[in-house]
Amino acid sequence: MLLEGKSAIITGGASGIGEASCRLFVEEGASVLIVDRNQRAGESLANELTAQGHNCHFYLADITSETAVKAMIEKAVELFGRLDCAVNNAGIGGEPQPIDEMSLQNWQQVMDINLTSVFLCLKYELKVMQAQQAGAIVNIASGAGLIAVPNMAGYCATKHGVLGLTKTAATENIRKGIRVNAILPGSTRTPLLEDSMSQGEEVEKMILASVPCGRFGQPIEIAQNIVWLCSDRASYVSGESVCVDYATVCR
């Protein structure tokens, strides 16, 4: 029970790494607010976990809106009385295109969902945690935050940006009892990965070529590391970018 008695908010919690994290967080004793734009999937997961006896709620939100993010954090505090952990996980891959063919609309959508949303979540999560003088935040970046991926400029730029936000937030809050870290998953079997591979044979070949270990990661393998970073077992870890990629992308 690594998270017994702790409360958490997990964005993008209705599928993939977010869903696996929600399941593991409640198993480890946490109360969880699942945030997603997919209401049907989010409510279904919350109902399932509640039926198992866990303290779990769903919240529908557009995390690219500052008003919505502020209300989301207020809801978590209303439900749980405090906010101990936050997992900023929501993200998209964007349409694969070379830079010279990319539309501003495509670029802006990826920026808003993958980077601006993390900034907004950090802003309001930190306000609550600073008042508590305690808290742990994990931002989900990617191996693409360290390397270049052709035709994925927007995705790479946002994931590099998430690492910069993580290190800055950690530095600003290191004496306030708040830890901020990032997880960099390698190629993980999620709906996002499946969607990326379905967009073209070249994309699928590129992704498969980056996995010399012979298999994709599973969402639960990423979630286990998120739980550890949010737990007191990682009490002396902050500002880190942790690769969880089976020595594939990040090395």
So which residues are the catalytic ones?
A: 155
Strand intervals (E) in the chain: 7-11, 31-36, 56-60, 85-88, 135-140, 178-185, 241-244
Phi, psi of 148 (to 5 degrees): -95, 135
Length of the chain counted residue by residue: 251
Interacting residues of 53 by C-beta distance below 8 A, sequence separation 6+: none
Interacting residues of 247 by C-beta distance below 8 A, sequence separation 6+: 213
The amino acid at 57: H
Could you tell me which residues are beta bridge partners of residue 242?
A: 183
Burial class (CB in 10 A: 0-12, 13-18, 19+), 215: exposed
| DSSP per-residue string spanning 22-44 | HHHHHHTT-EEEEEES-HHHHHH
Let me know: does 88 contact 142? Beta carbons within 8 Å. Answer: no
The amino acid at 10: I
In this structure, the number of other CB atoms found within 10 A of the CB of residue 52 comes to 11
Let me know: does 60 contact 163? Beta carbons within 8 Å. Answer: no
